[in-house]
């Protein structure tokens, strides 16, 4: 979800995002890693693709909206 630092929005105009499992409101940044074969990537070595996301800081759950599409996680 894009963030625009030029928007003048107060907290009362926002909606909290909570963990789908435990309803916690705090999250940690996490990274999904995907490996791509060197044959597909066209490189000398297999490649790693980092995909940033967020996981619940209490139970570790990654909300569906934070999961990369088509991973089946």
Question: Does the pLDDT of residue 5 top 70, yes or no?
Answer: no
- Residue 71 burial by Cβ neighbours in a 10 Å radius (0-12, 13-18, 19+): exposed
Range of 25's domain? 15-66
Asked whether residue 52 is assigned to any structural domain, the reply reads yes
Residue 72 pLDDT > 60? no
| 49 in a structural domain | yes
pTM of structure: 0.74
pLDDT of res. 70: 77
The per-residue pLDDT for 69 is 86
Q: How many domains does the chain have?
A: 1
28 assigned to some structural domain: yes
User: For residue range 20-57, what is the model confidence (pLDDT) as tens digits?
Assistant: 999 999 999 999 999 999 999 899 999 999 999 999 99
Residue 8 included in any domain: no
The answer to whether residue 4 is domain-embedded is no
């Amino acid at each position: 979800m894009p963030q625009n630092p030029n928007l003048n929005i107060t907290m009362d105009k926002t909606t909290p995002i909570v963990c789908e499992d435990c309803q916690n409101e705090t999250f940690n940044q996490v990274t999904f890693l995907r490996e791509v074969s060197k044959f597909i990537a066209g490189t000398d070595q297999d490649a790693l693709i980092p995909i940033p996301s967020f996981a619940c800081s209490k139970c570790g759950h990654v909300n569906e909206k934070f999961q990369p599409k088509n991973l089946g996680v």
